[in-house]
Structure 1
Amino acid sequence: MPSPLGGTRRCFWSLLLLTLILFLLAGLLHVDIKMFTPLLRGQAEGPPITNVMFLKTHKTASSTVLNMLFRFAEAHNLSVALPASSSFHLGYPWLFQTRYVEGAQQDGPQQQFRQFNIMCNHLRFNPTEVQKVMPNDTFYFTILRNPVFQLESSFSYYRRAAPAFKAAASLDAFLAAPHTYYNQSLGLSNAYARNHMWFDLGFDPNALVEESYVSARLAEVEQRFQLVLIAEHFDESMVLLRHRLRWRLDDVVSFKLNSRSQHSVTSLTPEGQERAKRWCALDWLLYQHFNRTFWASLLTQLGQGRLHSEVAQLRARRQELTALCLQDSAPKNKTQITDRRLQPFQSGEADILGYNLRTDLDNETLRMCQRMVMPELQYMARLYTLQFPEKPPKNIPFLEA
């Protein structure tokens, strides 16, 4: 009878030989050895993470991420922490409280809270309250954008909402003399006008830019969030997020949502861009720091070769779904969208775009494509009805006009 020990030794030497061959090939072909690690491990990375909190910062491609999370939640029958009653956000711009979540506070002799799998609607981060309705093993992440372009987008989108923006003839005019227009005493109503991402994280947007203060807040963000994505590198962000969450490729493929037409985008002068960095100095320091840590995490986890390969796969799959779902790959303005239910909300001076779907889709494909292009208000209202069928549905006024 063959010795079991001999079989074990043969297995060991075979695996060692295979490993050496792969390393040699990687060296000869300049291929990143991390591309072979699933083969060397011989096992899957593990089950997908289903408890996720996404801090949805404003004007940072976060609506596209929210759609992805909503689709994942619906596909896996997960619970979502949705705005209570007729609200469309989780108490924003006030600091988050559990009472802003539908069904979070449970009746009983002791104050108990229902916990949810997914939280991703707009809120101002308040970790002690968020932790009451999210499980202990929740994965926390957020997304940042270059504050120059984030501010430009906010100016267009919130022109009629923020007092600081209303009187300014243009963003360049605002940035030339911001304190002429910005009244700090107005507090939350001007949240959109300065260090908006810093504010969303729960910090003071008017704090002095002191090294000790900034370093302490950056350390807090690193402690609270396992991952900070970068909007300018959206595809790379989705590749890294997919690995961290152990999700499938199709779970992170998306179409760009809540984007503006080019005619409603303003190009700041170089001088205006420098003024924006100074005016939003806290956001600029935040962005610079996490842009560095993002790339460090990406290259450490994946390596250059595997990153390029997986970004190419993501873009190829998006192209396939574009051809499958959309009448025309180019997004449309509100007057061109034929299905009124798929029209996005319009705000300020921004011309928010949406999509038309092909008319020859079978029912199953149509449902999948509808979810991919569904604007956030409509999708949130849909999930609310599915999750709380006993409650009155959320009304979306602009669709009923």
Structure 2
Amino acid sequence: MRKSRALLKCRSNGTILAFLLFVSAVSVIIMLEFELAVNKNSWHKNVIVPFWAHHRREIDGNNDYVYYSNKTNGNISVPSPTQAKCAEIDYIVFLKTHKTASTTLASILERFGYIRNLLFAVSKSGHIFSLSNLFNRNMIPSLSSLNSKRLNTSSKQTGYHLLTNHVRYNRPEMDAVIHDAKYITIIREPVANFESAFGYFEIAKHLGLTSHKNPIETFMKTPKLFLDKHFYQWKRAKNGQLFDLGLEHESFDDFYIVKYKIRQLDSEFDLVLITEYFDESLILLKKLMCWSFEDILYVSNGIRSASHRYALNDELRAKIREWNSADVMLYTHFNETLWRKIKEYEGNFDKDLAEFRSQQQQAMNKCIDDERLNKNDRREVKYVLKPNMTKSIFCQNLLRDDVAYTDLIRNKMKQYGLYLSSSPKKSVPILPRARKPRSSYNHSRRRPRPQRPVRKT
């Protein structure tokens, strides 16, 4: 009897102990879940990353945890801690404005896409879709209807990756070509932009003003009369930046339409870079796209010749600003927007800017020959590579300009069956429409021509 009571007591104590252990385990799990929810970044940083890094060191022999990207054909990239939180952006529409350092920016974007084998929406020839027309999806081949074995089903559904060539802004048509893209553009202080366009496009020559001491001063005395002559690039001789961004000339003098357009652009563009603060703008671009410092390195694609520059006094500057008042409103708004974004920048902006400029200078010192310049174009001079760097892929990619990139990209797109000429090469997967060979035509089966009846006399 005593033995039975002792056995029951032991079992009861065991049950209580098991219950207490179960409650303790549940409590520990709840506490861990709470800790993970409250401080997820700390958990990831202090537990997950060290565990992964430990095993990575055993494999790679270094202290960095790395990511592999399919888009880079297996190349290894080592992101900074801030980059590890985001995904690299590669669906981009760049609205390329005129005389704003847009060619240099286009080269950065084109280099990024070219080395990653991304799909580009490029013009059928040259590097310009249109100087006056809004973008239309019919300007490029439709991927969904393309019968190419080299283009996978996913690409046909997700659309092109990048659009960087000159064309006027048209959001609905651009969305139809590049889906869920980041939209960026660049603008410049309106007086500097007007003077640059006037010189580069040789407007004085087209208006017969080359004999004047200062053709811009002559132009600004009666700008409306000159504009009515519709000379080459006349549409960019007044508020040319807003014209590129889709606003028509008849709306330039309507304050409320201009204001509405700027508000619309502010809601539709993810980033508007400023020429005068090019490096600062690129730091914001890097953050937006989750890119590396190397992705935003650049070489200025052209330095305007002294023969195509004009001196401007304060009075002339004031007239140009009044003539381009809509562009002044545009620039004022997005210049303020840029500095607000810099103020709200996550991380140490000044430190990142200094690091970028250091890498930029190292790249220039490595690749560019300071003692020589390419002066083949009378309107501008260009940098050249050092003799011992002409075979460097890095330096070639860095120096290559928008025109050269567009030609390379178009040739690469032809490998996918895009942008074919009327007589495609045999290596291209799309074949011309089949026609019945002449040799198969049976002349003996030709229907005899009916004979004219003979009139009886």
Give the TM-score normalised by the residue count of structure 2.
0.68
SS of residue matched to 2:382: coil
Distance (whole Å) between structure 2 residues aligned to residue 293 and residue 331 of structure 1: 39
SS of residue matched to 1:356: strand
Assess, with a 3 A threshold, how the Cα gap between structure 1 residues 332 and 295 changes in structure 2: closer, same or farther.
same
Distance (whole Å) between structure 2 residues aligned to residue 171 and residue 352 of structure 1: 19
Give 1:375's aligned residue: 401
Give 1:22's aligned residue: none
Is the CA contact (8 Å cut-off) linking 2:111 and 2:405 kept in structure 1?
A: no
Give 1:334's aligned residue: 375
Distance (whole Å) between structure 1 residues aligned to residue 157 and residue 303 of structure 2: 36
Distance (whole Å) between structure 2 residues aligned to residue 99 and residue 187 of structure 1: 28
Give 2:104's aligned residue: 64
The answer to whether residue 287 in structure 2 is matched with residue 243 in structure 1 is yes
Assess, with a 3 A threshold, how the Cα gap between structure 1 residues 113 and 176 changes in structure 2: closer, same or farther.
farther
Distance (whole Å) between structure 1 residues aligned to residue 300 and residue 333 of structure 2: 26
Question: What do the CA deviations read for 1:185-209 (whole angstroms, capped 9, x no partner)?
Answer: x499521211100100110234253
Question: Whose radius of gyration is greater, 1 or 2?
Answer: 2
1:260-339 aligned at under 5 Å gives the runs 260-302=304-346, 306-328=348-370, 332-335=373-376
Letter in 2 for 1:159: E
Assess, with a 3 A threshold, how the Cα gap between structure 1 residues 70 and 161 changes in structure 2: closer, same or farther.
farther
Assess, with a 3 A threshold, how the Cα gap between structure 1 residues 217 and 187 changes in structure 2: closer, same or farther.
farther
Distance (whole Å) between structure 2 residues aligned to residue 258 and residue 129 of structure 1: 31
Letter in 2 for 1:215: K
Distance (whole Å) between structure 1 residues aligned to residue 117 and residue 182 of structure 2: 18
Assess, with a 3 A threshold, how the Cα gap between structure 1 residues 293 and 8 changes in structure 2: closer, same or farther.
same
Assess, with a 3 A threshold, how the Cα gap between structure 1 residues 97 and 311 changes in structure 2: closer, same or farther.
same
Distance (whole Å) between structure 2 residues aligned to residue 162 and residue 114 of structure 1: 46
2:224 to 179, 182, 188: 179
Distance (whole Å) between structure 1 residues aligned to residue 387 and residue 333 of structure 2: 46
Is the CA contact (8 Å cut-off) linking 2:200 and 2:304 kept in structure 1?
A: no
SS of residue matched to 1:143: strand
1:75-90 aligned at under 5 Å gives the runs 75-84=115-124, 86-90=125-129
Letter in 2 for 1:378: A
Letter in 2 for 1:49: I
1:99-114 aligned at under 5 Å gives the runs 99-102=138-141, 106=145
| Higher mean C-alpha displacement, 60-69 vs 151-160 | 151-160
Is the CA contact (8 Å cut-off) linking 2:126 and 2:407 kept in structure 1?
A: no
SS of residue matched to 2:294: helix
Question: What do the CA deviations read for 1:122-149 (whole angstroms, capped 9, x no partner)?
Answer: 00111121111111x1000111100100
Number of positions where the alignment pairs a residue of Structure 1 with one of Structure 2:
346
SS of residue matched to 1:327: strand
SS of residue matched to 1:60: coil
Question: What do the CA deviations read for 1:43-88 (whole angstroms, capped 9, x no partner)?
Answer: 822110110000000000100110001110012110111002x343
SS of residue matched to 2:160: coil
1:193 to 237, 255, 272: 237
Question: What do the CA deviations read for 1:272-307 (whole angstroms, capped 9, x no partner)?
Answer: 11111011111111000111111111211247xx22
Assess, with a 3 A threshold, how the Cα gap between structure 1 residues 266 and 190 changes in structure 2: closer, same or farther.
same
Assess, with a 3 A threshold, how the Cα gap between structure 1 residues 200 and 188 changes in structure 2: closer, same or farther.
farther
SS of residue matched to 1:229: strand
Distance (whole Å) between structure 2 residues aligned to residue 68 and residue 385 of structure 1: 19
List gaps (5 residues or longer) in structure 1.
19-37, 336-345, 394-401
Assess, with a 3 A threshold, how the Cα gap between structure 1 residues 279 and 392 changes in structure 2: closer, same or farther.
same
Is the CA contact (8 Å cut-off) linking 1:93 and 1:188 kept in structure 2?
A: no
Letter in 2 for 1:177: T
Assess, with a 3 A threshold, how the Cα gap between structure 1 residues 251 and 93 changes in structure 2: closer, same or farther.
same
SS of residue matched to 1:191: helix
Distance (whole Å) between structure 2 residues aligned to residue 154 and residue 316 of structure 1: 31
Question: What do the CA deviations read for 1:228-260 (whole angstroms, capped 9, x no partner)?
Answer: 111100000000010001111110111111231
The answer to whether residue 110 in structure 2 is matched with residue 74 in structure 1 is no
Distance (whole Å) between structure 2 residues aligned to residue 44 and residue 70 of structure 1: 24
Question: What do the CA deviations read for 1:140-178 (whole angstroms, capped 9, x no partner)?
Answer: 011110010000010011125995x55474112212221
2:277 to 233, 249, 262: 233
- Give the CA deviation at 1:10: 8.6
Give 2:54's aligned residue: none
Is the CA contact (8 Å cut-off) linking 2:202 and 2:308 kept in structure 1?
A: no
1:92 to 123, 131, 135: 131
1:147 to 190, 205, 221: 190
Distance (whole Å) between structure 2 residues aligned to residue 60 and residue 266 of structure 1: 17
Is the CA contact (8 Å cut-off) linking 2:203 and 2:232 kept in structure 1?
A: no
Distance (whole Å) between structure 2 residues aligned to residue 275 and residue 266 of structure 1: 15
Q: Percent identity?
A: 26
Distance (whole Å) between structure 2 residues aligned to residue 187 and residue 258 of structure 1: 24
Distance (whole Å) between structure 1 residues aligned to residue 232 and residue 305 of structure 2: 28
Is the CA contact (8 Å cut-off) linking 1:52 and 1:117 kept in structure 2?
A: yes
SS of residue matched to 2:246: coil
Give the TM-score normalised by the residue count of structure 1.
0.77
Distance (whole Å) between structure 1 residues aligned to residue 372 and residue 334 of structure 2: 30
Distance (whole Å) between structure 1 residues aligned to residue 232 and residue 344 of structure 2: 39
Give 2:455's aligned residue: none
List gaps (5 residues or longer) in structure 2.
1-20, 46-79, 148-155, 423-457
Distance (whole Å) between structure 2 residues aligned to residue 332 and residue 381 of structure 1: 23
